[in-house]
Amino acid sequence: MTKEERLKKRHRAEKRFRFYGLSSIVVALLFVIILVNNIFSKGSSAFMKTVINVEVFFDPELIEIKNGATEDEILSADFFDITIETLLKSYPTKNIDEEDGLIDLFTTDAEIEIKKAFLDNNNLIGKKINLEITASDDIDQLHKGNYPRDLPEDRRRISNFQLEIYDNFVESNKIDKNFNNYFFNNGDSRDPELAGIGGALVGSFYSILICLLLAFPVAVLASIYLEEFAPKNKITDFIEININNLAAVPSIVYGLLALQILLATIQLPRSTPLVAGITLALMTLPRIIIPCRASLKAVPPSIREGALAVGASKFQSVFHHVVPLALPGTLSGTIIGLAQALGETAPLILIGMVAFVVDIPSTPVDPSSSLPVQVYLWSESAERGFVEKTSATIMMLLSFLIVMNILAVYLRQKFEKRWN
């Protein structure tokens, strides 16, 4: 083999390697695009809801309260008759089956929506207003094109009569799409049109807050002590190895630990963000300590030595000079640790977070679900409307993760000092 040939061979090897690298990146990107596209195409419709415009007449005959009633009186009043009357007036029906079919086009919360409209404008008795009432899940899915209509009637959830009403509503422009406020404000529900991630959002927020409050100070202090003060001997080596091991322990193990200690022994209440927060804090602790120590290590010794040389104590040199310089790395490490905790499901299953919770939790000791758990719960539901809800919740979760990761990168880029 001549010199030229060997050179060519080496160049070919380099080209091949570049090609492999590039193609693996392309394949990885392709998978991400397919995944994201799949989630977005299914989920984006969940941010809108279908509403039906109806005319509500607050007939004094059908209502027990008078104009100027207090809020409590209105809330306890019965709006059932008015609701049924309103819904039945929206389309002519011939018999009780058709009446049932018509009422089924609207959400089961129609009465509450009418009551709310009355509350907002408390002198409507004897007056007529136009109100947009949320459509039922079946009509919602039909209107969004997620449910086929060219099937024989017995294979469809919507009857021919209901289709006829729907077509009539569409023609007379009574059907509209609005922003889906329920998706953000409501807790879980068995009616897909009413189900929302409000409860899960609050639950996740409390869990992450508690996780932050517990894990951050402990992790920072532990890493400062280990890095700056602790003597380097076999014991600290042993601790260091174990921290690295703990960071690699599967999260479900922390769930089992919490089940035994927090729930069985200390008897904290099940299914609460408090327990979730403590569990996630245990899990996140080693994952924060590692980047914290790395960023402390990255501060050059000349800073410490300079501080000590002008008479600062060890404590002063660490807390006045080293820690502020290491802070950006510490913070971004913490944020990435919390982002991992936010997406964690396995330990939460064991501490009872996989639960149907309708009321939005007001304190960390109220039962609650969390975002990833909500995804899990809805993916198992039979109703068609939950398919888009599942994808939309994944979209929310992904966007939180992206925001947190961007924040971490930004903090590091903006405040990090480079030592050249």
Provide the binding-site residues for another protein, judged by CB under 8 A. 112, 147-148, 151, 154-157, 189-191, 206, 209-210, 266-271, 274, 352, 354-359, 363-365, 367, 377, 379-384, 387
- The nearest distance, CB 23 to another protein, in angstroms, is 29
- The nearest distance, CB 51 to another protein, in angstroms, is 20
For residues 7 and 15, give the distance between their C-alpha atoms in angstroms, rounded to a whole number.
12
- The nearest distance, CB 184 to another protein, in angstroms, is 19
For residues 349 and 372, give the distance between their C-alpha atoms in angstroms, rounded to a whole number.
10
365 touches 274 (CB < 8 A): yes
408 touches 160 (CB < 8 A): no
116 touches 150 (CB < 8 A): no
- The nearest distance, CB 13 to another protein, in angstroms, is 42
The position carrying tokens 């729907």 is 166
Give whichever of 343 and 352 is closer to another protein, judged by the CB atom: 352
For residues 259 and 245, give the distance between their C-alpha atoms in angstroms, rounded to a whole number.
21
For residues 279 and 260, give the distance between their C-alpha atoms in angstroms, rounded to a whole number.
11
For residues 372 and 208, give the distance between their C-alpha atoms in angstroms, rounded to a whole number.
13
Q: Alpha-carbon torsion 325, 326, 331, 336, what sign?
A: positive
Closest by CA position to 392, among listed 19, 49, 5, 139? 49
SS3 (DSSP) at 131: strand
SS3 (DSSP) at 19: helix
For residues 87 and 413, give the distance between their C-alpha atoms in angstroms, rounded to a whole number.
58
Looking at residue 132, its amino acid is E
Planar angle of CA 53, 56, 62, nearest 5 degrees: 150
Give whichever of 107 and 295 is closer to another protein, judged by the CB atom: 107
- The nearest distance, CB 187 to another protein, in angstroms, is 8
Give whichever of 312 and 355 is closer to another protein, judged by the CB atom: 355
- The nearest distance, CB 9 to another protein, in angstroms, is 46
- The nearest distance, CB 260 to another protein, in angstroms, is 13
- The nearest distance, CB 148 to another protein, in angstroms, is 6
244 touches 339 (CB < 8 A): no
Name every residue whose Cβ is closer than 8 Å to that of residue 218 and which is 6 or more positions away in sequence.
Answer: 281, 285
The position carrying tokens 């083999």 is 1
Give whichever of 29 and 75 is closer to another protein, judged by the CB atom: 75
Give whichever of 125 and 365 is closer to another protein, judged by the CB atom: 365
For residues 317 and 130, give the distance between their C-alpha atoms in angstroms, rounded to a whole number.
70
Give whichever of 264 and 409 is closer to another protein, judged by the CB atom: 264
Look at phi and psi of residue 220 and say left if phi exceeds 0, alpha if psi is from -120 to 50, else beta: alpha
Give whichever of 91 and 378 is closer to another protein, judged by the CB atom: 378
- The nearest distance, CB 377 to another protein, in angstroms, is 8
322 touches 292 (CB < 8 A): no
- The nearest distance, CB 367 to another protein, in angstroms, is 4
Give whichever of 240 and 383 is closer to another protein, judged by the CB atom: 383
- The nearest distance, CB 186 to another protein, in angstroms, is 11
The position carrying tokens 């310089």 is 325
CA 206 to chain centre: 12
Give whichever of 147 and 169 is closer to another protein, judged by the CB atom: 147
The position carrying tokens 């880029």 is 413
Give whichever of 137 and 227 is closer to another protein, judged by the CB atom: 137
Give whichever of 281 and 292 is closer to another protein, judged by the CB atom: 281
